[in-house]
Amino acid sequence: MWCCALEIRLFKGYGSIKAKTEGYGPIGKGGNGLILHSALAIEPQNGESLGLLWQKLWNRESKPKPPVHETSTQKKQRQAQARIEARNRPFEQKESYKWVEALSTVESLVSHHTRVIHVFDREGDITEVFDKIRQLQHTGILVRAAHNRRIDSDSERLWSKLIAQQVQF
């Protein structure tokens, strides 16, 4: 079974809908809306959808507006402080936790005779996903990698390792 992580961003775009997005958080380039992250079960032989295994719906918090007379130095300091605070937040409180949450939840829902492969976009290319997948017995992942990561203690890098691999079926 394949499990596709689909993310749908519901956004403002039409006048009548605009009022309904009031209070939603920011998405994309200037819109407001909700984010829906889904795990869809697909039968691999014929690509048939089997159903929805998991979903998470949320909205981002709006960022406070910067001070009116903020200098570029003050802006850099404020942004640096925000990055430090974001790094120090517990992982379970971060938006990227959705990837690990989907892995854990789906693993607990399917039969132990079922092999589940999650397909993630580059946003799923995070250490916590790889740490979690090592703990799961019936789950694998396919991630569109975003970084040429070091993959072992000998400093071997992902791109060179992949190029050296034989094609497998």
pTM: 0.70
Domain extent listing, the chain: 2-7+42-55+95-164
- Strands 116-120 and 139-143, bridge-based pairing: parallel
| 36-94 confidence digits (pLDDT tens) | 888 888 888 888 888 888 998 888 888 888 888 999 999 999 999 999 999 999 999 99
